[in-house]
């Protein structure tokens, strides 16, 4: 019995040490490897129809609001900062770690810029598709909103203007939150 166990262990060790060279393990296990675009640095996503309707709401039309957010540059910075704060937030960091933050910073910036009415088009996916099977909870949603509020406060956006963006985003929570 002891001998059989020893023989089995020896066989296992041999197997474990078998050279893996020449074997494409990703292909072997059906793992899809995605490569970043050399120009944009983004990972590819499944094809979808691009439309501003994917942004989830209609835009404001107020030069004052755009000014309050520091123009297009200010808006894009606030979106990127919201992502940065979320990546560093232990409550939700794990959700972000598994995704393409280069793309998210760009598309979230476009979405905010479009909704605030600063003249951008939104080229990302709709909210339901973008967050499908992510398992986002109500608590995760609150954490993200807190990070957005922190980013807007850092940028000295007046509270009334902050609330106007939040009012556009709030109804989208039904398409994002899954449990
Ligand atoms: C109303 C609230 C939210 C809005 C407006 C929003 C907006 C967006 C936008 C515009 C995208 C990019 C879609 C694309 O690139 O095609 C996206 C993706 C993403 N969102 Fe949200 N989001 C919201 C809530 C959340 C929450 C609560 C979390 C997690 C705590 C989250 C995590 C993510 C992640 C990880 C991605 C990347 C998905 C991927 O690359 O596949 N989002 N979101």
CA distances from 89 to 81, 94, 96, 105, 176 (A): 12, 9, 10, 16, 19
Residue 97 lies inside a defined structural domain of this protein:
yes
Number of domains in the chain: 1
Token readout for 168 is 């556009």
- What single string gives the DSSP state of each residue in 34-68? ----TTT-PPP-------GGGGSSPPP--HHHHHH
Answer whether residue 16 is part of any domain: no
Question: What's the CA-to-centroid distance between 176 and ligand 1, angstroms?
Answer: 8
73 within a domain of the structure (yes/no): yes
Q: Which ligand 1 atom sits closest to the C-alpha of 96?
A: 35
86-92: average pLDDT: 98
Domain range for 99: 52-176
Cβ of 100 closer than 6 Å to ligand 1, yes or no, is yes
118-149 confidence digits (pLDDT tens): 999 999 999 999 999 999 999 999 999 999 99
Q: What is the CATH number of the domain that holds 107?
A: 1.10.490.10
Task: Report the predicted TM-score, pTM, of the whole model to 2 decimal places.
Answer: 0.87
Task: Output phi, psi for 50, to 5 deg.
Answer: -80, 135
């Amino acid at each position: 019995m002891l001998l059989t166990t020893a023989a089995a262990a020896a066989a296992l060790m041999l197997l474990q040490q078998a050279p893996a060279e020449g074997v494409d393990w990703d292909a072997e296990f059906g793992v899809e490897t995605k490569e970043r675009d050399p120009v944009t640095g983004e990972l590819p996503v499944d094809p979808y129809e691009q439309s501003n309707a994917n942004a989830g709401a209609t835009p404001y039309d107020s030069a004052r609001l755009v000014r309050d957010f520091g123009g297009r540059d200010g808006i894009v910075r606030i979106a990127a900062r919201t992502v940065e704060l979320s990546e560093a937030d232990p409550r939700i960091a794990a959700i972000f770690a598994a995704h393409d933050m280069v793309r998210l910073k760009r598309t979230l910036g476009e979405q905010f810029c479009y909704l605030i009415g600063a003249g951008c088009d939104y080229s990302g996916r709709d909210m339901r598709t973008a967050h499908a099977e992510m398992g986002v909870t109500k608590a995760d949603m609150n954490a993200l909103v807190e990070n957005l509020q922190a980013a807007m406060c850092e940028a000295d956006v007046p509270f009334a203007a902050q609330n106007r963006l939040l009012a556009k985003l709030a109804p989208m929570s039904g398409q994002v939150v899954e449990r």
